[in-house]
A and B are shown apart, each in its own frame.
Chain A
Amino acid sequence: AQTVTQSQPEMSVQEAETVTLSCTYDTSENNYYLFWYKQPPSRQMILVIRQEAYKQQNATENRFSVNFQKAAKSFSLKISDSQLGDTAMYFCALVIPGTYKYIFGTGTRLKVLA
């Protein structure tokens, strides 16, 4: 069975600092996709970044980047120059085409401190 584990239930970071959120997953498949979603307080969940497993290059989106270690089955999210608006719940998700399921981790609550 496929699983996604986020081992940090809560984290905090000072504004303008860098923070890394951890995500590990388990699958025997070779073709899959990984996502980070962000759920701000009382707001809708939105996609932060996605990574195709067949791509060796780590995905980046402005201040957000991932460290994708396929062999270690690790998919961490790095947020640079943290802003107050980054305060949110962050979910890591795994999708294996053909299984028709999105598998989410339990989330990491990130608080950016002024």
Chain B
Amino acid sequence: KAGVTQTPRYLIKTRGQQVTLSCSPISGHRSVSWYQQTPGQGLQFLFEYFSETQRNKGNFPGRFSGRQFSNSRSEMNVSTLELGDSALYLCASSLGLAGLQETQYFGPGTRLLVL
């Protein structure tokens, strides 16, 4: 079974631009969670989608948004990029809701650099 895939793997953007990241979960998994990973902050939870609905959201500004499609694939969008948005963005999938103690399977991440 194929693992979690994320595209693109690397991105360079400038301040003020917007970016869309994509995540394809493991086949059969219905939940996709997004995390921001930075050296100082560790993994910060962004949001979780299950059956095309956002089930939970972390403490990030409204510039961060996402959606999930009927095939469980998910996209994350960041508008009006700031230098502080430079990070590794991880996607994780699980059979059910991650917050109900499901094991998460992580993708390789998208490394975003904002100049």
Q: What residues of chain A have their CB less than 8 Å away from a CB belonging to chain B? A: 33, 35, 37, 39, 43-47, 50, 52, 91, 95-107
Q: Main secondary structure on chain B at its contact with chain A?
A: mixed
> Which B18-61 residues sit within 8 Å CB-CB of chain A?
33, 35, 40-43, 45, 48, 55-56, 58
A47-B104, A99-B56 given; 15 more Cβ-contact pairs under 8 Å: A35-B103, A45-B90, A47-B103, A47-B105, A50-B103, A95-B98, A95-B100, A97-B101, A98-B99, A100-B48, A102-B98, A102-B99, A103-B45, A106-B41, A107-B42
Say which size band chain B's interface belongs to: 20 to 34
Instruction: Count A-B contacts at CB 8 Å.
Output: 63
- Contacts of B41 on A, CB cut-off 8 Å? 106
Alpha-carbon separation in the docked complex, A95 to B102 (Å): 9
Q: Are A91 and B56 in contact (CB under 8 A)?
A: no
The chain A residue with its CB closest to the CB of B90 is: A45
Q: Are B42 and A106 in contact (CB under 8 A)?
A: yes
- Contacts of A50 on B, CB cut-off 8 Å? 103
In the complex, whether B81 has a CB less than 8 A from a CB of chain A is no
Q: Are A44 and B101 in contact (CB under 8 A)?
A: no
Interchain nearest-CB distance for A83 vs B (Å):
21
In the complex, whether B66 has a CB less than 8 A from a CB of chain A is no
Choose from A44, A52, A91, A104 the contact partner of B108 (Cβ within 8 Å). A44
Alpha-carbon separation in the docked complex, A1 to B90 (Å): 24
Given A97-B101, A100-B100: A43 and B43 within 8 A (CB)?
A: no
In the complex, whether B106 has a CB less than 8 A from a CB of chain A is yes
The chain A residue with its CB closest to the CB of B31 is: A100
- Contacts of B108 on A, CB cut-off 8 Å? 43-44
Alpha-carbon separation in the docked complex, A102 to B109 (Å): 17
Alpha-carbon separation in the docked complex, A82 to B41 (Å): 27
Interchain nearest-CB distance for A101 vs B (Å):
5
Given A97-B99, A100-B97, A101-B99: A91 and B43 within 8 A (CB)?
A: yes
In the complex, whether B3 has a CB less than 8 A from a CB of chain A is yes
